[in-house]
Structure 1
Amino acid sequence: MASISETSTSKETLLAEILAGPQQAIYDMRKKVLPAQMLRELADQNSTLEVRMFLAAQANVPGRILDQLMGSDELEVLRVLAANDRLTYGQLQRLSKHDDVQVRVAVAGNKAVNGPIAVALCTDPALQVRLALATNQAISPRIQAMLSSDECSLVRAELLKLSRLDEEVQFALCDDWDLLIHIKTLLSPRLSYTCLKNWAASGELVSQLAIASRKKLAEEIWGILAGSPHRLVQLAVLSRGILTAEQMMQLARDGDEEVRQQLASRPELSLALQRILSQDSSEDVRLALAGNPSLDDGIGRFLAQGRHPKLLEALAMNSGTLPGTRECLIACGDPALHKQLLANPALGTDELSALVEVCSEEVFYHLVYRKWDCSALSAQARVRLLESPLPAVRRLVEKSA
């Protein structure tokens, strides 16, 4: 059987399709305008419900047939007819007052509905009707504003699906007493930039978190959020935001302790930020910085000068390139610190030689335990190992000779 979606449609083919399923036939013909004569012949020669439903959906259905359909008491026909955007104002108004909810739902979703009819539908007692009206892309800003005050939050939420939501209505929905509506509005991809900017600067925790979770944000908005007093917002900005160097420094100085700690752990941390964080009042922040592989050697030496045990341990285990820092750690003369240095695979040959030259005998065993290659040690370091009373230590040098 030929499809009615083809360019040329015979009356017989069309009728067969209609009788097989009027809703599918209506869908298939939604972009075609059938000749009025064909529609007259269908109406005159076929008195089935399926044909009347199909005719009710056609854009150019003749006036005589339309009047007959308007007088029908068949709800199936009226529900289809109410969605026809070629109806006159009077016809739409009549259907908008029909007792059947689904007929009024179809009117509310009709792109031709507006003005007094839409105003009346805004107060329809049936929730389904108001929901259909709220999703109608053709409703005016006035109707949008009326629905934004609807007693049911579901209706207000449906407005967010409109592709052209009035900016004043957006502001109203952002101010909605229902927290979910407020959040959904802030997450809406079509939210105006002005509205977004205002709420980013509001200082409200939930609002700022919602904005920070949007898929895309302008740098200006990230900058506003960076100044938030809330820890969770600062963390969100740090993990997802696009920040300038100045904004990063602001977080390093004034951010929450957890934020500063995460910042101190970031890879490729700039020297300017390291300088700020190295003087942080929080031990945990300084510890995070001391363990950061991107730590500057000069900053590492500065941290080592404080002789704080936990900081020294973190520096000893740091895998970065820190020759000067490790020199300071070796000079401390602390066997425990020396053992930790030997546990660090990043320890260089020159650093290993310097350590062996000055460390205590008890540290030598850790050379054996860690299986360090002693073939490139300095002459002084090799002599120290050869003089050790421990055979296993002496064998380290003898094997590499």
Structure 2
Amino acid sequence: MPPANHVHVHAHVLNGLAANTALPPELVDRLIAVAAADADFVDELVEREDLTHAQVVALHARVPETAFQLLDRGRGDPEWARRLAADPWHRNRERLASCPGLPPDVVETLAADPDVDVVAELALRATPEAAARLAGHPHAEVRRAVAWNEATPPAVLAALISGEGLPPASRCEVCDREETPYTHDPDCEHSDCDLPPDASCDGSHESAVHNIQHAALCNSATPTEAVAAFADHPSTMLRWALAERHDLPPEAARRLTVDPVPGIRAVLAENPAIDETLMRALADDESRDVRFHLAHNPNVPLDLLARLATTTKLGAALLPRVATASPAEVEELARSTDSTVRMLLALRRDLPAGIRDALAADPDAKVLKSIAPHPGLSEAQLRAMLDRHGVRVLARVATNPDASGELLEDLTRHRPPVQKAFREVARHRNATPRALLACLADIRARAIAAGHPALPPKAVVELLADEEWGVAEAAAGNPSLPRAVMQRLMP
């Protein structure tokens, strides 16, 4: 390891070691013993699943700042939470409020916190009972957080939308800072101003009320009857949130199909709540984005999907409707004369053997690229794909879970080389030592191969001195790293 880079690289090596699943308990103890707040490897230690209670306590004693992360993971001591709830710095109390499973007395303390940000953070994850109480908080930002919380009771969410049954809010983020009436200039030149461009308050906290309604509309727990009327609301943001709801009433959906905003029609098109009549109307929408989203609707009729495949670029992701096609529908798609339709079907990974094999012999390269990663293909089938289409399918063949070590080695020797294939081989479970060594020559595959347990230990050790920090860190995290070397790297 070059002396000039020793400290910098060593820090990344320690990160890798701290995350190494094969690191013996006594070496975990060694790292804990030298842990400090400014040591990057502390985060990796916190994430370890094998930490004992004694190690958790020792780590917190060395780096008290880990309390938040440990509480987040349900591994902290309730007393830490009680101490943090009384921390004079409000950002620490706010961070604590985001932790799950806090003791009831800590929740009560945070719910009464004088800082609005602390209470709002708590409200985002509060239990139904606590959320119901916080819905009447005098500050609108706390109410907005309650409206986002999916644990909030439906009746409370309906009240937050209508304002009925709750005492009016007395403060919002606008009147906290400015004299009312006030409307924030969208072109505000103050660099330290973080008010939203449309923030306004004339005493009724109108922009805050709008934000509460938006949060409640986005919340799936809000009752359908409380949201239906927003289909004609002048706010684009509220109509957009309504269009995404899976309990969208038919009449509201019909009105949204003619919304002037293409983005709203697009999210509506993907919504499984709309019926076939609306889908067929949206299939003729002038916006490509609308047609693209319609193709991703899990209920779109197959004939309509086939039509969309010829008029709209759909990419190479498995579509929900194709993923749930019945056996008869799968056969129908496989017989399609349109290669794009066959390509969409080939993206499934649970095809019957006969259909899988037929697609593996398809003359179209894009169909082969989609079917190449399918489990169950023989080596002969994979090699036949390579013989026919070479570099066009090579990287996808490398992703096949059943590709043999010998085939993977051959892929790394292909000329011309396919750079993406090296990355796929480097992460493949069947990669041989020889294939992985070949991957080290590719700059982007190098860090992936460095962490592969099949990489020869000698190569792993050499990579600890690699000038690319990501490679050194991956090598240090490799479970094949010899224990003696782990011990030697300890600070």
Q: With structure 2 as the length reference, what TM-score do the two structures score?
A: 0.37
Larger fraction in helix: 1
Kindly name which structure, 1 or 2, has the bigger radius of gyration based on alpha carbons. 1
Q: Which has the higher contact order (CA 8 A, sep 6+)?
A: 2
